Amino acid sequence: MAGFKQPWLGIAATVLIIGLAFLAILPWDYSTFGGAFSDVMMCMIPISAVIGMLWQGAEPKAIAGLPQPLRGVAFTAIGAAVGTVVFFILSATLGGGKGATPFLGFGIILSVVVTFMLALMWGCWPFTLIKNRLLAGLFFLVAAYAITGLLMRALNFAFLAGAPFYEGMDPAGPIPAWDGLVGAITCLAAMFVVLHFDLPVKRFPRLMKQPILGALWTVVANVIGWSSYFLGTRVFALTPDKFLATVPVPFIFGSVVLLTPLAGSATTGLKGPAKGIAGSVLAMIVGSVLARVYVLLMPMLTLDVPATRLDHNLWLATALLGVTFPFLAWHHDYFQLWPLAAKSPVELQQLVEDPASL
């Protein structure tokens, strides 16, 4: 592991990737950063879920067995190619061919939420039943975007009435678009709460089988997520964007740091509710502290962010979850934390032949 052990390996990887994320943010003006750049970046996330969770990094085999950093570069190239194609498809469908509109942005963000719920809570079921894993990945993506399209039909974008791109675009669903989007992201944060508690239903083997686990976990995440969202926005009167930037976004980001590069090492030795509570609290602390660092650096990273609360909150959410989050995932899944940690050629070949072995 090049001299690094957990949690220092995860801490070093996090610092490295945050630095790279800052460099990726730096060249763009605000409209491009919050528009085409972040949209393409987020379109690359669902395919990364396929590579990391459905294929488990073992497909395509010709790439999975390459030494680092060639393996990581090749997987990144696949992700970039698929993400770019998906971006143009979504631009023409969800976006109506009208450019980087809120319709397109909301749809892309929802697709990421749907993808991770299908991949983590449902364990990529039923696509795991397909023997050809490359084909299974294709069907998984099609299903994720189809579900996203249906969810978009339930949203109402009346707040955009009068905008030049509004005509003929608003599906006029029953759910205010901001409520639907931020509520869904909060449900994703609730999914991570369950992960911190290490799936309490593990003591009941029958509940750990799909689709029972997926259905149960979905219900729990929605109950926790929507209750938290309405408590924050209706009881404590936070606006949806303020709630987004202060509750689910830092929590998700902190959770990703603790569970991906640090591999849960921060709560090693704890069990049961103590582990879940400690992990959840620590995720909120880590995420909030890092969010504060991003806010302090925002004027240097993106010089022309408008001086409005909404734009500041959107910049923060995009910088954390639209850029740094996928960078962390790619470094872990594609590059296997290289150059801080590296697998030997023997380990790589074992991973290709038996993904569950490592």
155 in helix, strand or coil? strand
The span from the CA of 290 to the CA of 323, in Å, is 14
Q: What one-letter code names the amino acid at 256?
A: V
- Structure confidence at residue 342 (pLDDT): 60
Task: Let me know if 98 is exposed, middle or buried by CB neighbors in 10 A (0-12, 13-18, 19+).
Answer: middle
Task: Evaluate whether residue 51 is within a structural domain.
Answer: yes
Task: Evaluate whether residue 187 is within a structural domain.
Answer: yes
Task: Evaluate whether residue 210 is within a structural domain.
Answer: yes
Domain range for 312 is: 8-357
Q: Are 323 and 24 in contact (CB under 8 A)?
A: yes
Strands (E), 125-261: 155-156, 175-176
Strands (E), the chain: 155-156, 175-176
Task: Evaluate whether residue 85 is within a structural domain.
Answer: yes
- Structure confidence at residue 200 (pLDDT): 76
pLDDT tens for the chain, 358 residues: list them: 445 789 999 999 999 999 999 999 999 999 999 999 999 999 999 999 999 999 999 999 999 999 999 999 999 999 999 999 999 999 999 999 998 899 999 999 999 999 999 999 999 999 999 999 999 999 999 999 999 999 999 999 999 999 999 988 989 999 999 999 999 999 999 999 999 998 877 788 888 999 999 999 999 999 999 999 999 999 999 999 999 999 999 999 999 999 999 999 999 989 989 999 999 999 999 999 999 999 999 999 999 999 999 999 999 999 999 999 999 999 999 999 999 986 544 444 444 444 444 3
Task: Evaluate whether residue 26 is within a structural domain.
Answer: yes
Task: Evaluate whether residue 2 is within a structural domain.
Answer: no
Task: Evaluate whether residue 3 is within a structural domain.
Answer: no
- Structure confidence at residue 269 (pLDDT): 87
Q: Are 31 and 313 in contact (CB under 8 A)?
A: no
What are the backbone angles phi and psi of residue 176, rounded to the nearest 5°?
Answer: -55, 135
How many domains does the chain divide into? 1
- Structure confidence at residue 343 (pLDDT): 58
Task: Let me know if 155 is exposed, middle or buried by CB neighbors in 10 A (0-12, 13-18, 19+).
Answer: buried
Sign of the Cα pseudo-torsion (336, 337, 343, 347, in order): negative
CA nearest 217: which of 119, 315, 90, 86? 119
Q: What one-letter code names the amino acid at 118?
A: L
Task: Evaluate whether residue 1 is within a structural domain.
Answer: no
